[in-house]
């Protein structure tokens, strides 16, 4: 007589709603092979506050905060019992990720869901997903934090804007007019350290689409008189360096590489390409954080989506990945969004972008910058209106106010976004090369690699990684150009921190001094 099947329980925070702005195509083909990433809980809780800013070695991290091999073994048995295979090469105890593959019908039975196919109204992309909650046998559920890949809806958008698409604002003739910059000119205006070049550092860049060409890199850096940096592409979950759409994500990839690479030209640049799903996004971050081959000391992310569009379990898994980065001394810089205080959410209300709202990243807002040489003439909040774009910012509904923000005069109980800012307006944007075409590009997408390059320079100057910089930055708010003019919709710039530009734009050398003393 066979023993009864163990009772099943729902996985906390795994609930998904039917996707908006998509049409149902029908049930997913039961024979379609699907890959899922099972995010396994840590051996021990990771308490960054208890670490007190101490950076943990990879060996100590693996010993204390990776997944327990016994948990992996139990879930391997679960997979085999349900007709699923384990991709051991793609799995990792440090990343706490066990990758399972199998037909949709087996996935449905294993995780208690019904998969349906949908077509996105805008992109026409077809994807599978489910509504409801994931369930697991009560014998295995305690090991699992999230199951990613059963829902493949697009989760993020790139936060960049082409100047050519902007309907220019009318400015009084008497005022200074903005003009585009080469990235090193912006670094000079922000007083970035000039005695370092990023040597010995790797800047990681997360991309959820698009690609770059080596000819663009050679041509662009040659035109600036800079030796092209070493750029490597890393495939995650089948993502790849796939250039070919100059009006799409290629612009994001070019912006990230060319801004970071021209400011820290001797740094290596590792670009992690992944599908635009929560599984791809989170796997890309964990892959970068735990990449012992390229070993990035800072990671730039220019993609995100409104907090309200994310499943809670995915938010937890991604934020946990950022906590791991902080423990290992890896700084993560994230664009705060290009749709103002609403973050592009229809129906009104104020929203912030995730992962910028994670308290374990440096959230980067946007300004409009006017100046020349090393002199800033004017700097205001970037806001080109509803259609033209504006810096994201506001207050999180998912994360409470971090302790290091309590003295910043932030109203409300939610984590304030952004932390810092930098040049983002398309009219004062960046001259870049996209698929052989000269473009001027702005958006908070440019600010994340700008700050990532600054962190790489400071890491080189200090001789060790600065890690999670937020507590130090808020402790000394004098290392910034305070932005006091402009708004992003619901929020206005003000003296000190504000929900448009955070603490302000960088005084690079002053920040280097403060962080080197950390």
Residue tagged active-site, from 108, 252, 384, 439? 252
* 3 state DSSP class of 146: strand
Helix 214-224 vs helix 250-263: crossing angle, to nearest 10: 40
User: HSE (CB half, 13 Å, CA atoms) of 442?
Assistant: 32
User: Which structure tokens are listed for 421?
Assistant: 């800012």
For the purposes of burial, counting CB atoms within 10 Å of the CB of 492, is it exposed (0-12), middle (13-18) or buried (19 or more)?
A: middle
Helix 447-462 vs helix 508-516: crossing angle, to nearest 10: 50
Q: What dihedral angle (degrees, nearest 10) is formed by the CA atoms of 255, 257, 262, 266?
A: 170
Cβ(22)–Cβ(153) below 8 Å = yes
Residue tagged active-site, from 216, 250, 256, 320? 256
Beta strands in 351-509 (DSSP E): 353-354, 362-372, 375-381, 394-400, 414-417, 420-423, 430-434, 437-442, 480-481, 505-506
Cβ(330)–Cβ(287) below 8 Å = no
256: annotated active-site residue: yes
215: annotated active-site residue: no
Q: What are phi and psi of 25, to 5 degrees?
A: -100, -30
| Euclidean distance between CA atoms 181 and 183, whole angstroms | 6
Cβ(460)–Cβ(446) below 8 Å = no
| Euclidean distance between CA atoms 325 and 127, whole angstroms | 30
* Interacting residues of 432 by C-beta distance below 8 A, sequence separation 6+: 220, 251, 254, 255, 258, 259, 438, 439, 440, 441
CB atoms within 10 A of CB 496: 14
60: annotated active-site residue: no
Question: CA angle 435-436-442, nearest 5°?
Answer: 70
Residue tagged active-site, from 151, 445, 479, 498? 445
User: Which structure tokens are listed for 456?
Assistant: 């790489």
Q: Is the peptide bond before 418 cis (omega within 30 degrees of 0)?
A: yes
User: Which structure tokens are listed for 324?
Assistant: 């791991």
| Euclidean distance between CA atoms 168 and 92, whole angstroms | 49
Residues annotated as part of the active site: 252, 256, 445
């Amino acid at each position: 007589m066979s023993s009864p099947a163990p009772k099943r329980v729902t996985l906390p925070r795994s609930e998904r709603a039917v996707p908006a702005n998509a049409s149902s195509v029908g049930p997913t083909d039961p024979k379609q092979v699907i890959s899922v990433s099972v995010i396994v809980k840590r051996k021990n809780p990771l308490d960054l506050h208890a670490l007190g800013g101490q950076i943990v070695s990879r060996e100590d991290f693996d010993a204390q905060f990776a997944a327990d091999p016994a948990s992996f073994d139990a879930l391997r048995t679960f997979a085999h019992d349900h007709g699923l295979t384990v991709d051991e090469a793609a799995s990792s105890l440090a990343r706490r990720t066990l990758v399972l593959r199998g037909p949709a019908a087996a996935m449905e039975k294993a995780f208690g869901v019904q998969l349906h196919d949908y077509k996105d109204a805008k992109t026409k992309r077809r994807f599978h997903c489910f509504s409801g909650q994931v369930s697991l046998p009560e014998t295995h559920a305690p090991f699992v934090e999230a199951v990613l890949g059963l829902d493949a809806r697009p989760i993020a958008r790139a936060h960049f804007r082409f100047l050519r698409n902007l309907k220019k604002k009318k400015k009084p003739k008497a005022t200074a007019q903005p003009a585009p910059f080469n990235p090193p000119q912006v670094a000079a205006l922000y007083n970035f350290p000039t005695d370092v070049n990023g040597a010995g550092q790797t800047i990681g860049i997360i991309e959820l689409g698009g690609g770059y060409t080596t000819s663009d890199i050679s041509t662009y850096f040659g035109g600036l008189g800079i030796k092209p940096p070493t750029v490597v592409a890393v495939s995650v979950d089948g993502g790849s360096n796939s250039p070919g759409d100059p009006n799409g994500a290629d612009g994001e990839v070019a912006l990230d590489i060319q801004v970071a690479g021209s400011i820290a030209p001797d740094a290596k640049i590792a670009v992690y390409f992944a599908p635009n799903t929560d599984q791809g996004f989170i796997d890309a971050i964990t892959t970068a954080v735990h990449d012992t081959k390229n070993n990035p000391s800072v990671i730039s992310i220019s993609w995100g989506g409104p907090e309200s569009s994310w499943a809670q379990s995915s938010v937890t898994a991604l934020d946990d990945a950022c906590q791991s980065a902080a423990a290992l001394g890896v700084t993560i810089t994230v664009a705060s969004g290009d749709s103002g205080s609403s973050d592009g959410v229809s129906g009104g209300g104020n929203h912030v972008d995730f992962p910028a709202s994670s308290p374990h990243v440096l959230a980067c807002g946007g300004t409009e910058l006017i100046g020349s040489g090393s002199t800033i003439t004017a700097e205001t909040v970037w806001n080109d209106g509803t259609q033209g774009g504006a810096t994201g910012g506001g207050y999180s509904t998912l994360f409470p106010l971090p302790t290091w923000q309590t003295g910043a005069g932030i109203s409300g109980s939610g984590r304030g976004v952004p932390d810092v800012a930098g040049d983002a307006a398309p009219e004062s944007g960046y001259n870049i090369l996209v698929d052989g075409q000269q473009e001027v590009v702005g958006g908070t997408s440019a600010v994340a690699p700008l700050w990532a390059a600054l962190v790489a320079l400071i890491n080189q100057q200090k001789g060790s990684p600065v890690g999670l910089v937020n507590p130090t930055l808020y402790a000394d708010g004098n290392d910034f150009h305070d932005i006091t003019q402009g708004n992003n919709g619901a929020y206005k710039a003000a003296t000190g921190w504000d929900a448009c530009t955070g603490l302000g734009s960088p005084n690079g050398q002053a920040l280097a001094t403060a962080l080197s003393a950390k």
